[in-house]
Amino acid sequence: MFAQDFDTSGLSLNGNPVPIAEQVAFRSGFYSAAISASATGLLAYRSGPAERRQFIWFDRSGREIAKVGSLDSAQASAPSLSPDGRYIALDRMVDSNRDIWLLETARGVLRRLTFDPADDHSPTWSPDGSRIVFTSRREPRGALYQMPSNGNGAEKLLLATPLSKRAADWSHDGRFLLFRTQDVKTKYDLWAFPMDGEAKPFVVVQTNFDERDAQFSPDGKWIAYESDESGRFEIYVQPFPGPGQKLPVSTNGGAQVRWPRNGKELFYIGLDDRLMAVPIRVPSNGQAMEIGAPVPLFPTRVIGGAVNVLRQQYVVSPDGQKFLINTVPEDSGASRITVILNLKSK
C-alpha cells in the first residue's frame, strides 16, 4: 500500500508515492482491498497471505460431503458444472493471467484449457457438454468466445460489441445464450444471443438499475436474475423472451440465483450469506407461476459474500440435493488488523 500527496484545489497528485504497508490483504477480481481510512488521519488495514479457496460439496443441511481438489490460492472463480457432472469449468489466476480451467469432480484434478495472454473468464457449458463459451479481454471491451470443451480445437470469436460482456447461461435447448453487458447509462443489463448464427443479440432486461447473472429455467420459458431496483439486490423471475410480468422471489435481499434441473425450486444466497431455497410451480394451464416462501438451508462461507461482480460462486447438483460451493476455509482469513495513527505527508 502506498500514499501520495493530493492537491485538493488542483485535483492532482504531488511528489512520489511512499510505501506505508506490505502484504495488505487483497481480493483480486472483486476489486477490493482490506483498507479503511477516516478524515481524522486514522488508517486501518488487514494483512495476510493470499486468500485460499476450496470447492466443497454440501448437502441441504450444510453438512460437508466432500472436498473437490485441493486448497487453492489461484483465486478460482465462476464455477460451471458440466451437464454430465464430471467437470467444473472455472477461471483461475496463474502468473498474473486468468484462464479457463477444468476441475474433475471425482479426482479433483485440474487441467488448463486457455493459454492466451489476455484474461479469459466466466465459462458456461453448452447443454450437450461439447462446448464452452467464455468471456475474453482479447477485444478492447471484452468479447464472447467459444471452444470445444475437451480443449482439442480452436477458440472462436462468438460476439464482440462496444459494451463489456460476461457469459451467464445457455438454454437447455441450445438456442440462446444469456449474457450481461455494462453501460454507463443503464448499468448492468441482460441480453440474449441466438446461437443459430442467423439473428442478432437482443435486450432481455434493461433499466437504470443493475440486472445481473440470469439463469434459464429448465424449459427455457423463464429467466431468474438479480436486480437492485428496490435499493438492494433481490431475485426476480420473468418470462423469456417476454413479454410478461416480473415476479419477486426473495424477500430480504438475495443474489447468485441458480435453477436446478428439475425446475421445482430456485436457490440463491441471502445478503447474510445463507443459502436459500424457494419452491416454485408453473401450472400446466399457462397461468402465472406460483412462488413459495424462501426457506433458509444453511450459512455459507462463499467467497466474496452474496453480492459480487463475478457471477455465481456455487453450483447445484441436477437433483437439487447437493451444492458445490467456492468456499473460504475458516482458517483462510486468519490475519491481523493494523492501525496507523496520524498519517501525514513527508
Domains in the chain, ordered, with CATH? 2-47+334-340 (no CATH), 53-327 (2.120.10.30)
Q: Which is more confidently placed, 123 or 285?
A: 123
**Cell (9 digits) for 142:** 471484452
Residue 136 identity (one-letter amino acid): S
Please state the rounded mean pLDDT for residues 289-316: 92
The answer to whether 160 and 139 are in contact (CB under 8 A) is yes
Please give the pLDDT value at position 29: 46
Please give the pLDDT value at position 222: 94
Please give the pLDDT value at position 334: 56
Please state the rounded mean pLDDT for residues 98-114: 96
Q: Which is more confidently placed, 346 or 293?
A: 293
Contacting residues for 257 by C-beta, under 8 A, at least 6 apart: 213, 215, 224, 225, 226, 235, 249, 266, 267, 268, 312
Rounded distance between C-alpha atoms, residue 96 and residue 24, angstroms: 17
Which residue in the block uniquely carries the three cell numbers 477480481?
29
For residue 238, is pLDDT > 90? yes
For residue 213, is pLDDT > 60? yes
Please state the rounded mean pLDDT for residues 23-50: 72
226, containing H or E segment: strand 222-227
Rounded distance between C-alpha atoms, residue 60 and residue 63, angstroms: 7
For residue 27, is pLDDT > 80? no
